[in-house]
Structure 1
Amino acid sequence: MTYAGAIIGGSPEYGETLSIIANPATGDAAGEIAITDAAACERAIAAARAAFPGWAAKPDAERQAAVARCADIIEEHAEELARLLTAEQGKPMNGTGSRFEVGGAAAWTRHTAGLVLPVEYVQDDDAAHIAIHRRPLGVVAAITPWNWPLMIAIWQIMPAIRAGNTVVIKPSPFTPLSTLKLVELLQAALPPGVLNAVAGPDELGSLLTSHPDIAKVCFTGSTATGRKVMASAAPTLKRLTLELGGNDAGIVLPDADPQAIAEGLFWGAFINNGQTCAALKRLFVHDSIYDAVCDALVAYAASVKTGPGTEEDSALGPLQNEMQFRKVARLVDEARADGARVLTGGSPTAGAGLFYPVTLVADAKPGMALVDEEQFGPALPIIRYSDVGEAIAAANAADVGLGGSVWSSDIDLARDLALQLECGTAWVNKHGAIRPDTPFGGVKASGFGVEFGPHGLSEFLSLQVLHD
């Protein structure tokens, strides 16, 4: 099937160049897309700019109702979107796979519909009236990755339009199909031009980030690309929300119960096959329970099936693209050559598709690429430590700081230590849990700005102070 490469002003557009989107589980085509060019991107920006005054002027209740209708539409088409998502991204239909992602997209949309940022009054008496109002920014460019294509699209689109902005979204070239279908479906809830999409090469992203008619850029992706986005946006002083790479550390204290925490550790690391920015990517375990934690993780991993996402009992799927597949294989091979022990997995799965098994790597050490780099795949280095202060220092030595966790039966101690981690979100006895009412973002090279809830909504608004 050939999909439109753009949705502009409410209508699909087909470019002249066709691109095959691969199914990572089989290597076959998930679909064919007519990719668009710079001229189409310019038309999308123009459509969004033309739609902005009318959308921004609508009563707040109308925008709330439109976003709520978007949630209805996602729910009505949930199975269709989930199957398309599995075909292009590879994740399983069940578990924390495509149905989970589409359900989360609907839930985030519905929560965003209900957000309100009322006028704030600094002073309101006979002496003075000072009120803080909020105004939408204009056209927002949303540039989304391939790991959670629909969920992250919703995180960027919905607060933008809820606040009164208009949007041009560019999905990853690896996974454009589900996003384009989503944008097509949502036209039924929105005036033409409020939400536009363009699919094509990375050059379109550069056009969006540098364009003078774009007021804000939302980007989720690598730190290296985030730096390029920031540099491209600098001449026009655009607002930015950058959710960039992470290399999250988890620290297991000596009083933790290995059997009790094994499942939480596993899914903290391997949700979406490890292809999650805020997944647990470095696990520090105290020497006194190191072997017991390793054994518990190996036993749990044996119960988890990796297979094609279309098989209803698959819990994990393939890596999404060959670039990431090769990176994970390289990092594991290098760690093994440097003296680490592979407890399970450790080599590509034979046969079709980009399947790499769950891989647990013991005796890993800082300095190994598998520890120091974000692997973004199903390989977890397990690092032995004896002094918790040294473990926290090693966790904080990374130049990124998205998330981190502490695992212990002493909740008060775990909280105190978690607050010493240099990251945007810290968890106790869990990792990666996020909510639509709680802000999420990183520190250091993991970016800036936050998403979700009132704090996230405010990122799409400017302040105007009225004195009278």
Structure 2
Amino acid sequence: MITLANHIAGEAVGTAATSEVVDPSTGRPLALAPLSRGREVEAAVSAAAKAFGTWRTSTPAERSLALLRIAQALEDHAEEFADLECRNTGKPRRTAVADEVEPVVDQLRFFAGAARLPEGKAAGEYLGDHTSSVRREPVGVCAQLVPWNFPLMMAVWKCAPAIAAGNTVVLKPAESTPMTALRLAELAAEFLPPGVLNVVCGDRDTGRELAAHPEVDLVALTGSTRAGRELASSAGRALKRLHLELGGNSPVIVFDDVDVQAVAAAIADAAFFNAGQDCVAASRVLVHEGVYRELADALVERARGTRTGPPSDAGAYYGPLNNADQLARVSGLIERLPGHATVRTGGHRIGEQGYFFAPTVVTGVRQSDEIVQEEIFGPVITVQPFAGADEAMALANGVPQGLAGSVWTRDLATANRVAAGLDVGCAWINTHLCFTAEMPHGGCKESGYGRDLSAYALDDYTRVKHVMTAL
């Protein structure tokens, strides 16, 4: 079993306290990770604060070149990163490569380009005998807390725009999935000054200490709504800048003019991908009553044809749930289903080793049911009928979250009307779970605020300054 170390000021730094990293495919220990506390948090923040003094004055070209070199190094080590991600998360290998490592390389290259194109206003005379200009400047030290569902990708979504904008970073990966973030920091150390990118491992208390540190200027979180509330309360006392990408509960609205079999296949893929552990998973399906029974049957058939298994299983579409707590949570949602709901297929753990859960379809649910109102974050689809577009939008918006959703119809007018009416940060039409580095990702309501990806992410990691000069 390997022992991991924090990455602080360009160096590997061990800790006396450690926690076990478990392979979710087997349930057995995989590594020992640092359990960082005050001393390590203080060292990492101090390193970032020191590095900010010079990194903030680096040119966009210098920051761009560093990110391009990191992207190339990651691409050169793609197989190594895929191996680490598979071991740490249990994902199928093709998922680790095509859906995480390859997009991350592209996203790093995008932010390398965006670093050289900061948005600004033209200088001008808006008061007699005075010239005004608007500067965009880095915020400072950014504490970034990322989840376990896409460990490498979420790390890059956070640190790449922050570094591109001239900030320095202390990144805390999820307690159960630290391996690729630490390896990324090791690679990046060849191209970044010491202290620009630091990684400290630990648990929730580590994250709390990091977020509360007085030298941290901005806190970014991808995680649960519960964690976002706690962080907002803590950061509010110090008036820290926040960037929160929180839980989702994506509505998938299907009208009666679609190719039912084709749509069922697309929805099932977007629901079961990564074991449903995606904040925009297509888990909450709303179907026009005219095709409700047909689509529900098609989803059941797709679920029965979907296989879960460890990375060694080339035929598995998805791997295990990430940890024992998540397995218990998903199992609990199924066990607590009310009598009017029906588990059409799945609804149970698979095997005794690891945290595998069967592809599941539940019908007969009602809007007030826990499984509808709560984010599932597992390989589970719920199916509800609707009579018309207005009812569909009411059901779609009738949950606390507002991250993403999709509309499926051949009617362009209906598609655009419903997409405009969804209280979400991303609305797809006739597709789901598609991302590109150039477009923003984020939500509203209890799904938080701030945007990952795109040039909007750089806005979150900069502050605006007006400079006026008397002529």
Instruction: State the secondary structure of the residue aligned to 2:108.
Output: helix
1:109-132: CA deviations, max 9, x gaps? 111100021442153699653221
Instruction: State the secondary structure of the residue aligned to 1:255.
Output: coil
Does structure 2 retain, via aligned residues, the 8 Å contact 1:4–1:35? no
Is residue 74 of structure 2 the alignment partner of residue 74 of structure 1?
Answer: yes
Instruction: For 2:241, give the aligned amino acid.
Output: R
Change (3 A) 1:395 1:118: closer
Q: Match of 1:370?
A: 371
Cα RMSD, aligned residues only: 1.6
Say which of 137, 152, 167 aligns to 1:135.
137
Q: Match of 1:63?
A: 63
The residue correspondences of 1:213-228 to structure 2 (distance < 5 A) are: 213-228=215-230
Q: Match of 1:17?
A: 17
Instruction: For 2:410, give the aligned amino acid.
Output: S
- Deviation, 1:409, is 1.3
Q: Which runs of 4+ in 1 moved over 4 A?
A: 124-128
- Deviation, 1:35, is 2.9
Instruction: State the secondary structure of the residue aligned to 1:364.
Output: coil
Does structure 2 retain, via aligned residues, the 8 Å contact 1:97–1:272? no
Does structure 2 retain, via aligned residues, the 8 Å contact 1:101–1:148? yes
Q: Match of 1:293?
A: 295
Does structure 1 retain, via aligned residues, the 8 Å contact 2:273–2:317? no
Instruction: For 2:4, give the aligned amino acid.
Output: A
The residue correspondences of 1:95-114 to structure 2 (distance < 5 A) are: 96-114=95-113
1:193-220: CA deviations, max 9, x gaps? 1000110121111111111100101101
- Deviation, 1:169, is 0.5
Instruction: State the secondary structure of the residue aligned to 1:381.
Output: strand
- Deviation, 1:141, is 0.4
Matches of 1:31 and 1:186, distance apart in 2? 22
Matches of 1:112 and 1:47, distance apart in 2? 23
Instruction: For 2:448, give the aligned amino acid.
Output: G
Does structure 2 retain, via aligned residues, the 8 Å contact 1:83–1:98? no
Say which of 259, 262, 265 aligns to 1:260.
262
Does structure 2 retain, via aligned residues, the 8 Å contact 1:165–1:460? yes
The residue correspondences of 1:266-345 to structure 2 (distance < 5 A) are: 266-335=268-337, 337-345=338-346
Does structure 1 retain, via aligned residues, the 8 Å contact 2:419–2:427? yes
Change (3 A) 1:18 1:211: closer
Instruction: State the secondary structure of the residue aligned to 2:122.
Output: strand
Q: Which 5+ residue runs of structure 2 have no aligned equivalent?
A: none
Matches of 1:255 and 1:134, distance apart in 2? 48
Matches of 2:402 and 2:34, distance apart in 1? 38
Does structure 1 retain, via aligned residues, the 8 Å contact 2:275–2:379? yes
Matches of 1:386 and 1:412, distance apart in 2? 18
Matches of 2:356 and 2:315, distance apart in 1? 16
Matches of 2:398 and 2:123, distance apart in 1? 42
Change (3 A) 1:340 1:97: farther
Instruction: State the secondary structure of the residue aligned to 1:419.
Output: helix
Instruction: State the secondary structure of the residue aligned to 1:33.
Output: strand
Relative to structure 2, which stretch is displaced further, 271-280 or 213-222? 271-280
Q: Match of 1:31?
A: 31
TM-score, normalization: structure 1? 0.96
Q: Match of 2:421?
A: 420
- Deviation, 1:295, is 2.1
- Deviation, 1:17, is 2.0
Instruction: For 2:444, give the aligned amino acid.
Output: V
1:34-93: CA deviations, max 9, x gaps? 433220110000000000011111121011100111111111111111111111112111
- Deviation, 1:310, is 2.8
Say which of 202, 206, 211 aligns to 1:204.
206
Instruction: State the secondary structure of the residue aligned to 2:399.
Output: coil
- Deviation, 1:350, is 2.4
Percent of matched pairs sharing the same residue? 37
Does structure 1 retain, via aligned residues, the 8 Å contact 2:85–2:96? no
- Deviation, 1:452, is 1.4
1:208-264: CA deviations, max 9, x gaps? 111110010110111111011111111221111100011111111111220121222
Matches of 2:390 and 2:123, distance apart in 1? 44
Count of aligned positions = 466
Instruction: State the secondary structure of the residue aligned to 2:220.
Output: strand
Does structure 1 retain, via aligned residues, the 8 Å contact 2:136–2:463? yes
- Deviation, 1:300, is 2.4
Matches of 2:104 and 2:423, distance apart in 1? 29
- Deviation, 1:167, is 0.3
Is residue 237 of structure 2 the alignment partner of residue 235 of structure 1?
Answer: yes
Q: Which 5+ residue runs of structure 1 have no aligned equivalent?
A: none
1:295-324: CA deviations, max 9, x gaps? 222232333321102323321101011111
Matches of 2:203 and 2:335, distance apart in 1? 32
Does structure 2 retain, via aligned residues, the 8 Å contact 1:306–1:314? yes
Q: Match of 2:51?
A: 51
Q: Match of 1:456?
A: 457
Does structure 2 retain, via aligned residues, the 8 Å contact 1:268–1:430? no
Instruction: For 2:199, give the aligned amino acid.
Output: A
Instruction: For 2:106, give the aligned amino acid.
Output: A
Does structure 2 retain, via aligned residues, the 8 Å contact 1:338–1:368? no
Q: Match of 1:246?
A: 248
Matches of 1:353 and 1:373, distance apart in 2? 24
Matches of 2:52 and 2:34, distance apart in 1? 27
Matches of 1:122 and 1:398, distance apart in 2? 45
Instruction: For 2:15, give the aligned amino acid.
Output: G
Instruction: For 1:461, give the aligned amino acid.
Output: T
Q: Match of 2:409?
A: 408
Instruction: State the secondary structure of the residue aligned to 1:141.
Output: strand
